[in-house]
Amino acid sequence: MARLSADEKIQPHWWLKTLAGIVLGLTLAYAIVAIFAWYGPGGINAPVKVQFNMWLITPIWLLVLSLSYLFKTGIKAITYLGAANVALYALFFFLRWLS
Amino acid sequence: MKIRGDILRTYQSIHTWTGIVTGLVLFIGFYAGSLSMFEEEISHWATPSSHHLPQIPADKFDELILKASSSFDKAQQDFTVNFNDNLSPLTWSEKGGGRGLQLNHVIRHATLSEQGELVTQANLTNELGDLIDTLHRTAGIAGKIGHEDVGVIVLGIAAILYFIALVSGIIFLLPTLVKSFFALRTNKGANRFWLDSHNLVGIISLPFHFIIAITVVVFAFHDVFYGGLSLAYGDEPLFERGEKSKVEYTIDQLPPIASYLKKVDELTEGYTVKSLDFSGLSSSRPSVGITIINHQAMMRNNTGDFIYMNPYNFEVSFSSVQMNEEDVYTPLVASFFSLHFGGYAGDLGRWLYFIMGLLGAFLFYSGNLLWLEKRRQKQAVQTKANRFMACLTIGVCLGSILAVVTTLLASKWFYLIDVQVNNHYLTCYYLTFFAALTYTFSRGASRSAIHILYALSIACLFIPLTTLLTIALPSLALWEQEPFPSFIFEFVTLVFAAAFYYGALKTKHRAYYGEPNSIWALPVIKVSEDLADKALSSA
């Protein structure tokens, strides 16, 4: 493996990445769970499903948060996670609009 | 496996900092969690056996309830029916009670004599098991924000960092994982040994740790999560509201106890009923919480599964066991709880969780030691920050264990002096904890580690001695000579007494013969004869 130059390496940017992971990671988790809640097995009214949905938030959120430090810069973390949020919420509202 | 160096370094920093920030509270959460696997047994061990009244045959329960509710107003609303042979058949709250930790909860026990007369007595409940559970959930951090415990929130935040620490730990361990997974290198110095065992324990119990991290975050923040989820639900309600019944019930309409056992048999398979918890019997919202046990099943909690129903018409309002084929989410959700509480595999599962919890505590303790070693200067006097962290690690970790063991030891003595045991437990815990912490900061980490370990060993040794004394001296016989299995508790404390003693010897050896520039080193003092003479002549 060739040695990476200084700007090819991951930059620390602790605060930005952490912030992106906490806020955008959580909203991303909610987007996934919202889609699952309405369109996953059983639909929105299946008994006890609301508890399962609530349980799903944490593992998704924390996994995204933990892996946020892989982005090269803090700005990139915000951009990519933000874009993923927009895409998933667009999908969610589109599906809601369809039904 | 090859991973880019910059990724490794990034995640190594994350692992170090998330670990050092959360290690101490998680340590307490884990070892106390181990003990809380046996919460009911610990409370039962601590409660004088005279507090429990003798059990009655199954067909006498209806007679007992009738007699109790006609003699005591309080027994017309709420009471608990126990089927356990070691507990009183019927109990209800006399004073205090309700949700959460109750230090001044007085319950009245009731039974029938051989002649069929009502016999009752009121006792302060023993909350030792609950207090250990509270220590487990809050790490001993007192106070409340609204109706939430500050400690629960702190542990919830710590669990988020702990999850990140787990992921980062795996990432930066991956390149060397295959090569040195089972390597426990004892010949490369103490430091390498600590690192290897830290990695080994971390990897083998990884699934357990992920489960714990996720469940703790959920336990701490579920209200917040539901709040956010309600936005996604829009106009759909999150929870169905139970229809308010217009019917006012009274206790004389209560069906016989046997009908609940029959109902449980119809609804479930392989479960036996442990207790029935009736509440609001003479009201329009009556409820019975039925605790059921099946050691072959994955139970929501290690103490059992629950079914809540209306006691008059048997309508189930909530259940932790699957009631029909379509209900796929109940067992899934119950399994999350079960994986945290060790509600599967029966007693073997509980002992495994006990050991895993202790190994978890070891993980945080050894992590802190590794951090200290890494920042060590190659000189005899270490930096202030390093010494501070060493003292904090010893004072908090060992101090907290010492405080719990001292409380366990003092428990039986409290009953001999006073009956307000629950408040004494709290005082005893915090006094010992802060005394140990103060001692550590005044005497230094190395010396106090040795001394606290000796103290732990002695305190553990005195628990079975106290038990022997209560058996030997009839005047102290609050606890009847119990059947053999209850000596498990005493046996375990003996094992721990030996372990702490061994730990003290090893720590002492490290202090005098280990790396002299270590934070754990103590100066070797040679007591020569002329020095002793000098001391004598000056006296």
pLDDT digits (tens, 9 = 90+) for B103-113: 888 999 999 99
Question: Does residue B317 belong to the interface with chain A, where contact is any CB pair within 8 Å?
Answer: no
Q: CB atoms < 10 A from the CB of A40, how many?
A: 16
CA distance B69 to B53: 17
Work out the percent of chain B whose per-residue pLDDT is above 70.
Answer: 90
A75 contacts A19 by C-beta, under 8 angstroms: no
Which pLDDT score is estimated for B239?
84
**Identity at B387, one-letter amino acid code:** R
d(CA B145, CA B363): 30
Task: Find, in chain A, the residue whose alpha carbon is nearest to that of B171.
Answer: A67
pLDDT band per the 50, 70, 90 thresholds, residue B234? confident
Interface test with B, best of A64, A66, A97 (most B CBs within 10 A): A66
The answer to the question of residue A2 being in a domain is: no
A81: closest CA of chain B, how far (Å): 18
| Chain B residues with beta carbon closer than 8 angstroms to that of A62 | 160, 163-164, 213-214, 217
β-pair partners for B278: B79, B288
Output the six-digit token pair for B7.
Answer: 């990724």
Predicted confidence (pLDDT) at residue B539 exceeds the cutoff of 50: no
**pLDDT(B380) > 80:** no
B109 within 8 A of B119, measured Cβ to Cβ:
no
Q: pLDDT band at A40, cuts 50/70/90? A: very high
Q: Which residues contact A92 (CB under 8 A, 6 or more apart)?
A: A31, A34, A35, A38, B232
Instruction: Quote the pLDDT of residue B484.
Output: 45
Q: Is residue A4 part of a domain?
A: no
| Residue B254 in domain | no
Alpha carbon distance B283, B248 (integer Å): 5
User: Residue B535 belongs to what domain range?
Assistant: 379-539
Pick from A48, A64, A76, A88 the residue to mutate for testing the B interface (most B CBs within 10 Å). Answer: A48
Residue A17: list chain B partners with CB under 8 A. Answer: none
Phi and psi based region of residue B72 (left: phi greater than 0; alpha: psi -120 to 50; beta: remaining): beta
Domain count, chain A: 1
Q: Is the pLDDT of residue A90 over 80?
A: yes
- The yes-or-no verdict on residue B527 having pLDDT over 60 is no
Per the listing, tokens 């047994």 go with B41
With contacts defined as CB-CB under 8 Å, which chain B residues touch A1? 2, 4
**Does residue B317 contact residue B310 with C-beta atoms inside 8 Å?**
yes
Which residues are B120's β-sheet partners?
B110
Q: Is B308 near chain A, with CB under 8 Å?
A: no
Least confident interval from A48-57, B321-330, B412-421: B412-421
Distance CA(B68)–CA(A51), nearest Å, equals 39
Cβ-defined contact of A62 to B222 (cutoff 8 Å) = no
Q: What is the pLDDT of residue B474?
A: 62
| Two tokens, residue B508 | 């002492």
Residue B183 scores a pLDDT above 50: yes
Q: Considering the domain boundaries, does residue A6 fall inside one? A: no
- Residues of A within 8 A of B161 (CB-CB) are none
> Across the interface, do B167 and A55 touch by the CB < 8 Å criterion?
no
pTM (two decimals): 0.91
Which structural domain, as residue segments, surrounds residue A53?
14-98
pLDDT: which is higher, B514 or B75: B75
Percentage of residues in chain B having pLDDT higher than 90: 55
Is the pLDDT higher at B470 or at A69? A69
The mean pLDDT of B132-151, rounded to a whole number, is 91
CB contacts of B13 in chain A (<8 Å) are 12
* Residue B191 pLDDT exceeds 80: no
Higher local confidence (pLDDT), B378 or B133? B133
3-state secondary structure of B310: coil
Q: What's the domain count of chain B?
A: 2
Within a domain: residue A58?
yes
Give Cα B430 distance to the centre of its chain: 17
Q: Does B100 have pLDDT greater than 80? A: no
Mean pLDDT throughout B519-532? Answer: 64
Closest Cα in chain A to B159: A62
Does ipTM surpass 0.90 in this model?
yes
Strand order in the sheet with B90-95: B118-124, B106-112, B90-95, B79-82, B272-279, B287-293, B305-309, B316-319
Q: Cβ B222–A54 below 8 Å, yes or no?
A: yes
Of B7, B163, B330, the CB nearest to A48: B330
- The alpha-carbon gap from A67 to the nearest alpha carbon of chain B, in Å, equals 8
Residue A5, in any domain of the structure = no
Average pLDDT for residues B369-394, to the nearest whole number?
84
Query: What's residue B429's pLDDT?
Result: 96
Q: B263 pLDDT band (50/70/90 cuts)? A: very high
| Chain A, chain B: beta-carbon pairs less than 8 Å apart | 92
The answer, for B222 touching chain A at a CB cutoff of 8 Å, is yes
Asked, for residue A18, whether it belongs to a domain, the answer is yes
* pLDDT given for residue B483 in this prediction: 47
